[in-house]
Structure 1
Amino acid sequence: MTLQAAPLRLSTESATFEADFKARLHWSADTDAAIEQRVADILADVQQRGDAAVIEYTQRFDGLSVASMAALELTQAELKAAFDGLPEVQRQALEQAARRVRSYHEAQKKASGESWSYRDEDGTLLGQKVTPLDRVGIYVPGGKAAYPSSVLMNAIPAHVAGVGEIIMVVPTPKGEKNPLVLAAAYVAGVSRAFTIGGAQAVAALAYGTATVPKVDKITGPGNAYVASAKKRVFGTVGIDMIAGPSEILVLADGSTPADWVAMDLFSQAEHDELAQSILLCPDAAYIEAVQREIDRLLPTMPRAAIIAKSLSDRGALIQTRSMEEACAISNRIAPEHLEVSSNDPHRWEPLLKHAGAIFLGAFTSESLGDYCAGPNHVLPTSGTARFSSPLGVYDFQKRSSLIEVSEAGAQTLGLIAAELAYGEGLQAHAQAAEMRLKTPRA
């Protein structure tokens, strides 16, 4: 049977557009109740039994026959050996990508990650102290696919931020270790690495075991079990975000080759059946051309079945009245990846407020951002770009306020604080401020 990818065809001029549009965007982040209960059991078991529980679940879920945690830890020598064993072209690509990612995040740190302070007219010092987290855990997916790019995107900004230790966990079902993932850990400066995954890996990082050190924050994507576990351990540790299915939105004015745009839509659809690929364009003939290219190119794709289901179930080709309207709809969607496929992308960029990453111009394919452009590819999904940001150096730093009140400053601030404290009924607060006053408060 011939596979077909039939994205929903919509027009903003249709009377049913709003209802059809909302239905196509809908995706529930609710986790299956059975998964939630299983995750809760695993977390509690790892918290209680530590390494023994991690070993048991790794044997059960990944099919590994191991007797100790030592067999699940990757040494630095193994990581380097994996790097040295890669073909020269892969070593160069990995190093070049890492260099660009590091360069971008170093610039990010200089722009927003420095401590600062000032003294006001009475000598009081006020400021902010920026310090890195002591230890973070990065989760790297394994199983259906291996993601060395995720290693770079999670570990390098942590390293640039000055994090003391970076602990990587990566499942290796049936014991299959991906050399590119191990090599990426070597290039990115991972401190320790363990071949464990799932909820048990999240639990080990969050609570610590005799072997796996407890971390301060966990970053990185994973399956429903990993997402559920991250939600449950939040508060014990920090987390980056709860990621939904991958998304791409292409704003096109009809000037980009249609096969380029079709392949860009494929680039997210091939992740999984729940991924979402949407085209917004005012040119009906161009939308038809993109559909023809989808039909032509689909049979050539190794993951054609996944792409076809993703595009048919969640994809959309939407004809708008104008590019301005397309930008307004894009802001409503707040996509993870937003391509502005136009001859003049800078004309439209000021109209775009909400997106995880914005890719400007026909030559800027989303896939370049995934691997080597420099900015982070860990991005907010499911509309959360309305209020959240890409992973960055700032996610691996924390800020402490600095306050040094001079004797002169205490005379002014003490009166203000005491007045407000008495108003709140907090006498100890008020008297602590008043004790510093040279002249008792009337």
Structure 2
Amino acid sequence: MKTFFFAIILSLLGQTLWSQQNTVQTQIHILHFACSNPDDEACKLNQRTLQLYRSSLFKDLQASGFRVNYREYKEGDFNLNTLRQTINGLKVEANDIVLFLYSGHGSNTDGTATPTLNVSNNIVSTPRDRINLKTIQNQLMGKGARMTIVVGNACNKVQQVAQNSVPGGTHIARNRSNLSILFTNYKGHVLIWSAKKGQSAYGDLISGNYFGESFLDALYEAQSWEQVVMLTKQKTTNIAKANGLAQVPDANLSVAPLNVLAKTTKPPLPTAMSSTPSKSTTALAEAKVTGFLGTSVASTIMQAERVNVYLLYPFKHDGQTFEGFRIRKKIDNLSASQIQPLKSIIGNTASYSFDQLVKNCIFSPLVGVEFQKGNDTVKLLLCTDCDVWRFYNNNTKKEEDFDNAHADVVNWIKTIFPNDPIIKKIN
């Protein structure tokens, strides 16, 4: 009986320590870049949004037991060079959270779903001021924090326009307990931006930017990040619609509760690999991956006897092609040590998002991989811009997101093509 009660006490103590570790010891790095040109109406809206986040989110996270490293970048610090230096110099621990907020001008100069940001107090940007929101996310994900949340409030049109000022929305009553749930119980990556491709962003001097206000409200209302995205879209869209405007936020979401991810951590790679794979040493795909790909496809990938890899032109479709994309270079028959890391990534459930969200992103693969086993062939296209991979086998296509494995996939590609100038630029 004494042993039984002692075990209960230890269990409760462990839960208490776990809870303290994930609240008190979690540090949240908030990096808020906001344009501050006093002669620019849009920048005035952005400064109002910055004030709202400083007066509510920053203080409420501190009151909830988190250590908050809050930094604002405006006036002379609102430039691309400072942004890059900030990201490069950011140091995080494994349980930290990075929240990046951008409030400023933007446009769509490269055809992607995410906006290109004009990190400058000048209304009209030059190429040296611009960076895509997705690029910022990729760089911050590489820091290794428990969560990376990237929020972009900017226009997303081919021609950059000022954010318009129209009558606005209202704030909700703040529920700090929901805020604590979101920043304590989840791991993964959130990328959310204010307007779909081709749309402007709107706001007023009272509420600030409507997307920024809606996202802030959603953080206090929602109890999951899926709800945060849904509520942000609804609130922003409704405010715009009420004023005869079109503004619909968009997002890429790859998060999961901590206890779920704990069960799907990546298995360690083998410390020794033979040059020829065998059934006794080749790893199997996890059950959920096999269910998604199909037994035959999973078996062909994991037990491939020959693997070829291709560099592709993502926007050229003539000449010799690989699943419709022109081949730039080919390497035949990779060794077992070269291909095993990719097999481990593909076979790991944690690499996949497995959600119902569809990314509004132009699929532009730079790399193709061909797995051969006997008479069966599986082809794989890798798009690191969208973090989407497509598997082809016998006229069947399967597609899923690999946001969680972005860094691992990019590292593998760079080990296969270490000297290619285009591959070197992938982040």
TM-score range for the pair, normalised by the shorter chain length: under 0.3
**Which of structures 1 and 2 has the bigger CA Rg?**
1
- Give the structure, 1 or 2, with the largest relative contact order (CA under 8 Å, sep 6 or more): 1
| More strand by percentage | 2
| More helix by percentage | 1
